[in-house]
Structure formats: C-alpha cells, structure tokens
Structure 1
Amino acid sequence: MKRRYLIGGVIILAFILFGMRTFMRHITPYVSIAEARRVHKTVQVSGFLGVNKGTYDPQTHSLRFILTDKHGDSLLVTYRGVKPANFDNATSVVVIGKYDSGVFKAKKLLLKCPSKYKDRTL
C-alpha cells in the first residue's frame, strides 16, 4: 500500500516539474532596450513612438520604426505582417521578439491608442 502511494507521489511530482519547466520556457519577460540588446532571446520591450511613425511597405508587409524607452534609449524595430489599423494613432508600443544584428525583429506588436484611454467626463 505504501509503495503505491510512493509511486503515485513520484508521478505527481514529475508532472508538476514538467509543467513548471514548460511554463518557464514559454514566459516572455519585459526588459529595457539596453537589456534587449544584451540577451539574444525572445523578450518584450515597451516604449514610445516618435513623431516619425516609421515606414510600411505594403508589397512586402514590412514595417520599420524607431522605439524609444523611458531612459531615452532608441531601437530600430522591424515587423513583418499587416500594419495594425491604429498604428498611426498609437503612442505607446510593446514589441515582442528578438534583437539580432542591430535590429529588433518583432513577432508581435501591442499598441496603445491614446483616445481609447482618455478619462470620460459626464
């Protein structure tokens, strides 16, 4: 009887460890631009778009823009995909991807449009 509990406990522990390892492997940490340049793994970087909203090529579906963080560091970002509809109105952007060869290659863009977050007064 004790042997069955021991085997069951080991199996449960193995599933817990496997789940934790899988979770930790798929988590994407927020980092600064300076840190994104140092680590060469998938990260999230938050920043602001300047006056120049970048360039978009509809033929290749590629978007290039400069992201600046709160410390004043800037980063060239490239994104391959359809340009988000509210990109030109966005001020704050979170990019998810990797830094490689002087360029941050974003796989995802998360945008904050200022008009959606204004206080509403009645």
Structure 2
Amino acid sequence: MKKSSVIGIIIIALAIAMIIVMYTDSSTYSTFTEAKEEQTELYVVGVLNKEKALHYEPTEDANHFSFYMYDNDSTECKVVFRGAKPQDIERSEQIVLTGKMIGNEFHASKILMKCPSKYQENEVEVTEVSTAQTLGFVEAPAAD
C-alpha cells in the first residue's frame, strides 16, 4: 500500500472519531429516569408541580430551595437547589434544570425558567438562575 493511501485512511479514521466524540458529548435534554442511570450533570426540562408546596425558609437556610417537578415523561421528582428561590417560579411555564441525581433527589446547579411575559401574551420571558449568582459570586442582571 502506498504511503498516501495509509495517510488518507488515518485522516478519515480521525475525522470519524472526532465526529463520534462531538456527537456523544453534545448536550441534550434528559429525564429524571435517565439522570438516575447516569451520574453526570444533565439538562432536565419539565414543569413545576403546582399542587405541592415549595420549600424555602430564608430564616433557616437562605441557600436551600426545594420543589417538585414533572419532566417530559411525566415523572415527578424532588428538586433541591442550593441557592435562593427564583422570583416568579410559580408563574413559570417551563423549567430547564442543570444538575444531577443524588439518591432520589435531583440537585440543580442552574435553573432556567420560561415565564409568560408581562407585556405581551405571545412572548416568553427567560430567566436563568445559577448557584454562583445566588451566593453573590456573579452579578445578577438588573430587573426590568
């Protein structure tokens, strides 16, 4: 076999390997069931269970907020966020969490809420909250 053929095969194999690595490493939305199976940080999208109470006692622990959420498969799970309660979470239409399962609880490091806009009915307002913001490490954006 010629050297140019061997080099061509190696380049093609490397390109295929890079595509596979990029495809498997890309972020996709998961469910609570998948989060239990994988012990890595994932994105879970769902809706707030408004029938169960939200737990936030700033006098006891200002950096502990928990609530129940349904994922896209209608699986309910308790979510624990080490930060302050995001404003207007009760009004959110959809919630995207970044975090991982620890036991039977999903521990979120970020909460992204899609809330109805207060100005127009057809627009969606997006609010992101992370642990770093609630602990004062990152300056939070000013409210409208």
User: Do both share a fold (TM > 0.5)?
Assistant: yes
Return the alpha-carbon distance in structure 1 between the equivalents of residues 69 and 29 of structure 2. 15
The counterpart of 1:92, out of the listed 94, 97, 119, is 94
Return the alpha-carbon distance in structure 2 between the equivalents of residues 92 and 112 of structure 1. 5
Q: What letter is aligned with 1:33?
A: F
The counterpart of 2:73, out of the listed 67, 71, 74, is 71
4+ residue runs over 6 A deviation: none
Structure 2: runs of 5+ lacking an equivalent: 1-16, 124-144
Spell out the pairing of 1:1-122 with structure 2 (5 A cutoff): 27-51=26-50, 52-57=53-58, 59-115=61-117, 118-119=121-122
Q: Deviation at 1:92?
A: 1.4
- Is the CA contact (8 Å cut-off) linking 1:28 and 1:42 kept in structure 2? no
Return the alpha-carbon distance in structure 2 between the equivalents of residues 90 and 76 of structure 1. 17
Q: Using the aligned pairs only, state the percent identity.
A: 25
Return the alpha-carbon distance in structure 1 between the equivalents of residues 35 and 99 of structure 2. 9
Secondary structure at 1:72's aligned position in 2? coil
What is the count of residue pairs matched by the alignment?
A: 118
Q: Deviation at 1:30?
A: 1.4
Q: Could you state the TM-score of these two structures normalised by the residue count of structure 2? A: 0.59
Return the alpha-carbon distance in structure 2 between the equivalents of residues 114 and 75 of structure 1. 24
Q: What letter is aligned with 2:78?
A: L
Q: What letter is aligned with 1:30?
A: Y
- Is the CA contact (8 Å cut-off) linking 1:77 and 1:104 kept in structure 2? yes
Q: Could you state the TM-score of these two structures normalised by the residue count of structure 1? A: 0.68
Return the alpha-carbon distance in structure 2 between the equivalents of residues 38 and 112 of structure 1. 27
RMSD between superposed Cα atoms in Å:
3.2
Secondary structure at 2:117's aligned position in 1? helix
Q: What letter is aligned with 1:91?
A: E
Q: Which has the higher contact order (CA 8 A, sep 6+)?
A: 1
Query: Which structure shows the bigger proportion of residues in helix conformation?
Result: 1
Q: Deviation at 1:31?
A: 0.5
